[in-house]
Structure 1
Amino acid sequence: TSEDSEPWHIYTDLGYYSVELIAESQNCGADTLLIDSIIHVLNPSFISTIGNQDISIFPNPVKDKLYINFNKNLNNPMLLNIYDLNGKIIAQKDILSVAPGILELTFNRNKTQKGTYILRIQNTEETIFETKFILN
C-alpha cells in the first residue's frame, strides 16, 4: 500500500503478483482496478552480494553518496559499472588499482532517479564484486 505519486515495490519472492489500483477523489469517490497475475517475478530483487569479501558498500539505502570500502590492495585494472534494473549503464569508472580505503561515488539527483541499482566491479577476467543498492 502506498500513497506515493510514483509507487514502487521490491519483490523478494518468485511468483505471480496481482496489482490493485485505487483512485480516490473528493468529488467522485473511489474507483478500483485489479489486474491478476500481471507481474511475473523470475529473479527476485533482494539485496545480495557476490564475489570478493574484501569489498563492501555503505550506506544502503543511499541518499547522495555511495561509499565502496576496499579492505586490501587490488592491483589489476578494474571497471566499475552501475546499472539500472533494465541493464542500462548509469555510470562507469575505470580503476587502475586500489589501496585499502574508501572510494566515494556521488549521484547527480537531477539525472539519477530513486530506485534499485546494480553495482558491478570487474577485472579483465571476471566479475569480482556485484551487489544491489537502493537510491532514495
Structure 2
Amino acid sequence: MSLNRTRSALAAAALTGAALLAAPGAAQAAQPTQPTRTEGTATARTWPGVWPYNGHTATVRASRSTGAAKTGTVTSAGRKCSEDLCQAYSGGSYTCWSGGPSGNSWIGVLDSKNRLGWVAAKCVGVSRWS
C-alpha cells in the first residue's frame, strides 16, 4: 500500500471514530462528580470539615475579617465546611497565632444549627467529616 493510501485510510478511520463518538448514546468519558450530601443515613458520604491546626483552636467569625464578631471556635470536635470542597475565599488578612501562619483566605463553616461562619484557612486543617 502506498504512503498516500495509508494516510487516506488512517484519516477515514479517524473520521469514522469521531462520528461514532459524537452519535447520541455513544459512550462518553466519565466526568468527575461532586459527592452528594446525604447526612443522617447509614450510607452517607463523608463531608469535609476543619479541625485545629498544630494544636491551636481557631476563631469562627461572622464575616471574612478579624474585626468581625466572634461566633464560635473550632475545637477538637471540628466544624463541617459550608461547601463540599471547603472552598477558600479572599478576605481580610490575619495571623493565626504569634509566630504562626498568616494569610487572607477564609473557609465557610457551619455550626450545629447550620449557620454560616468563617474561619481563617491557614489556622485549621481540612479533612473528611465522618
Scaled by the length of structure 1, the TM-score of the pair is: 0.25
Q: Which has the larger radius of gyration?
A: 2
Query: Which has a greater percent of strand?
Result: 1
Scaled by the length of structure 2, the TM-score of the pair is: 0.26
